[in-house]
Amino acid sequence: MRLDGRAFVLPVCLIILAEIGARAGGPSDSIAPPSEVLVAFVGALADGSLLLATRDTLASAFGGLAIGGAIGLALGILLGSVGALNRLMEVTLELIRPIPSVALAPVALVALGFGYRLEIAIVAYASTWPVLLLTRSAVAGVEPRLIEVAQALRLSFPARVAKIIVPAALPRIFVAFRLAAGFALIVAVTIEIAINPLGLGAGLMTAGQALRPELMLAYLLWIGIVGFALNILLVFAQQRLFGRAALVGDIR
């Protein structure tokens, strides 16, 4: 992914305007000038608190993504390959899917308590759906002639999945995982803000309640950077690590 230098003009202008605006607006408990945010950011980075919180958030987000992604992938392949099962499960899935992941937080808290388990469980629930739906649609859209070839070769179901279905659907499955990774980070931070006292979301809440808006905004900035870096990492993985089979169209 190549970045155009001109893309920085708007953000830099906005930062300058924010600096002027924040200083002109007088003291605030929720807004701080970008220069103070930068100082707080460097301070939090230096004392290790930001990196510790990042570790907690990413561990929960990736843990949930791994579990949710695996469940979504398995169910997506199964439902995409077996039409009758897909029709039978349609109502059940469509009833469960609209439940917002954050709405599960109070129930999950009673069952699992604070900590990684709570967050991983909710992130897993949230990231199951994009992977399941996109994989199901990708598998159902595999060229019928390839399926006919598999039948002619009398491949078993696992062999058909491994040799025909997954390679054919891989680009769209990868898009599903990229989408789910974004969701995983958003849900993890949201759960930390709402309920779970660990990670970047809890750090952001604590800074806000401690009347340190500059630190709160530093956490917000860092969450944006982490999300940006995560996307770059996933694009890199898709472009370089999985060969041409994982590529489809223009991915950015």
Partner 1 sequence: MIEPFREAFMNRISQSAARPWARLFLSAVALAAFSVPARAQTKIAIGCTATSDCASAMVAVDQGIFTKHGLDAQMVRIGINSTIPAAILSDSIQIGGPTESVFLQAVDGGLDLVAVEGASRMDPIANEAVAAFARNGTTLKEAKDFVGKKVGAPGIGAFLQVLFVKWLVEKGVDPKSVNFVEVTFPTMSDTLKSGAVDAVLTAEPFVTRMTKAGTGYVAAHYAAELARTEPIISYVAARAYAEKNPEAIANFRAAIAEAADIVNNDREKASVSIANFTKQPLEIVRLNRPNLAAPELKSDQLAWWLDVMKQQNLLQSQIDPSKLVFP
Residues that bind partner 1 (CB under 8 A): 25-31, 106, 109-115, 193-195, 197, 202, 205-213, 216
Of residues 44 and 79, the one with the C-beta less far from partner 1 = 44
Nearest to 76 by CA among 145, 141, 155, 11: 141
Of residues 182 and 199, the one with the C-beta less far from partner 1 = 199
For 100, half-sphere exposure in the C-beta direction (CA atoms, 13 angstrom radius) is: 8
Of residues 33 and 208, the one with the C-beta less far from partner 1 = 208
Of residues 139 and 217, the one with the C-beta less far from partner 1 = 217
- Minimal distance, residue 200 CB to partner 1, in Å: 13
- Minimal distance, residue 12 CB to partner 1, in Å: 25
Q: Write the CA distances from 185 to 39, 196, 197, integer angstroms.
A: 25, 14, 16
- Minimal distance, residue 89 CB to partner 1, in Å: 31
Cβ count near 245 (within 10 Å): 12
Cβ count near 92 (within 10 Å): 9
- Minimal distance, residue 61 CB to partner 1, in Å: 19
Rg of the chain over all Cα atoms, to the nearest angstrom: 22
